[in-house]
């Protein structure tokens, strides 16, 4: 071995030794706690069936708890309590289940953790939500007790929804729905047909309007950067630093709806934002613009939107609706060539589910065993004001 190689090994040794010592100490603390009888318990509140067969998906890997995540949670906790009822717990059932748990994992369809439930869970330290909004899960009492709340919204959901917003915008600009349908119907003769009076457009150098600016809109703004677009933002809370970071400018709703080529809705639905996108705003949308809604259907005056879309003046990609599934009506959204309808699947895609669970489990375990900072913590103010559906 030459001198230089020896120096390199010597230089790396303290770092490797420190990593080993850290792992050894954590392992010993865990074993000591077990010997002392201090057992960690976790309750998975959503039905076990939904966790293993997410939204009807038959791919065993595209679920929240594939086998590798089942093994992971069982290795981290002394006891894992599953909901094997095939339905939502009753209040009495849930009060019994939470008595000794340190952590609760929730998802779509989980019970709200009301005062009655919180009072029955003296050891509860953290609640982890595998889905987006926690508004229907959390309560004032949960936060007042000091229970930490974490979720996948900022770390996984928001980026995936932003990806969908970008894809939807480009699909509509290039009229991929019309092109695909025409080629299927006309086969090779459709090649010339799709080019008649159908100017396809790209996203580069467009003006994009963001209605509200949360985690999803920020990811979307980041994804738009390579396309040298002009971004206008309607937000009451966005900082000057954020505007500068993504080269954006503040704008009123009226300015966004009357000047932007792409209008992307990112507003949470609550009693203050219902029908916020009014008939008057919809009438301002310019010719050939694209309206994209990946937020919630109820932030838009839906009947007014349908009437405006019937004029053919602009295009829309709608992932969310007032009622889901959106009911068919003759001459309605399903029949409009300038509308792309998506069945509320903006994000996250199913291949992300195992990653979401794995990351959330790491956060729970790190917090309970080492009091590690929580990267996906949801504050009381934010949790209670998130979209309610």
User: Catalytic amino acids?
Assistant: 296, 324, 344
For residue 192, give both structure tokens: 């010339």
**Owner of token pair 């505007």:** 243
Residue owning tokens 């705003």: 281
The sign of the torsion formed by the CA atoms of 273, 385, 45, 106 equals: positive
CA distance 170 to 265: 15
Residues near 269 by beta carbon (within 8 Å), at least 6 away in sequence:
295, 296, 297, 298, 299, 387, 388, 389
Q: How far apart are CA 207 and CA 205, in angstroms?
A: 7
**Residue 124 CB partners (closer than 8 Å, separation 6+):** 98, 101, 102, 103, 104, 118, 145, 147
**DSSP-derived secondary structure letter, 310:** T
**Alpha carbon distance 346, 230 (integer Å):** 24
Contact 177, 171 (CB under 8 A): yes
- Tell me the CB-side half-sphere exposure of residue 211, using CA atoms within 13 A: 29
């Amino acid at each position: 071995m030459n001198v230089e190689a020896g120096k390199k090994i010597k230089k790396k040794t303290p770092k490797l030794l420190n990593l080993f010592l850290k792992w050894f100490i954590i392992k010993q603390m865990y074993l000591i706690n077990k010997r002392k009888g201090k057992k960690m318990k976790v309750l998975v509140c959503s039905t076990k069936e939904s966790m293993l067969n997410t939204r009807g998906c038959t791919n065993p890997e595209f679920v929240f708890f594939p086998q590798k995540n089942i093994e992971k949670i069982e290795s981290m906790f002394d006891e894992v309590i599953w909901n094997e009822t095939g339905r939502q717990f009753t209040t009495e059932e849930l009060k019994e289940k939470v008595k000794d748990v340190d952590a609760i994992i929730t998802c779509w369809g989980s019970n709200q953790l009301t005062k009655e439930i919180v009072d029955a869970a003296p050891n509860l330290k953290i609640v982890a939500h595998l889905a987006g909004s926690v508004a229907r899960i959390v309560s004032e009492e949960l936060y007042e007790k000091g229970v930490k709340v974490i979720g996948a919204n900022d770390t996984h959901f928001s980026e995936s929804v932003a990806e969908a917003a970008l894809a939807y915008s480009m699909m509509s600009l290039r009229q991929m729905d019309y092109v695909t349908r025409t080629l299927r119907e006309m086969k090779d003769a459709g090649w010339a047909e799709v080019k008649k009076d159908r100017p396809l457009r790209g996203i580069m150098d467009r003006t994009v309007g963001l209605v509200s600016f949360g985690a999803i809109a920020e990811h979307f703004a980041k994804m738009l950067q390579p396309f040298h677009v002009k971004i206008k933002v309607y937000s009451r809370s966005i900082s000057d630093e954020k505007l500068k970071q993504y080269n954006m400018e503040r704008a009123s709703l009226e300015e966004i709806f009357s000047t932007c080529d792409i209008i992307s809705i990112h507003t949470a639905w609550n009693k203050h934002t219902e029908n916020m996108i009014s008939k008057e705003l919809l009438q301002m949308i310019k010719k050939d613009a694209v309206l994209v809604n990946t937020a919630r259907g109820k932030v838009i005056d839906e009947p007014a939107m349908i009437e405006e879309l019937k004029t053919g003046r602009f295009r829309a990609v709608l992932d969310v609706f007032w009622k889901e599934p959106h009911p068919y009506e003759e001459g309605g959204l399903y029949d409009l060539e300038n509308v792309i309808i998506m069945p509320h699947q903006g994000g996250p895609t199913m291949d992300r589910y195992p990653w979401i669970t794995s990351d959330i489990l790491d956060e729970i375990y790190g917090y309970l065993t080492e009091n590690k900072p929580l990267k996906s913590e949801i504050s009381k103010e934010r949790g209670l004001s998130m979209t309610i559906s």
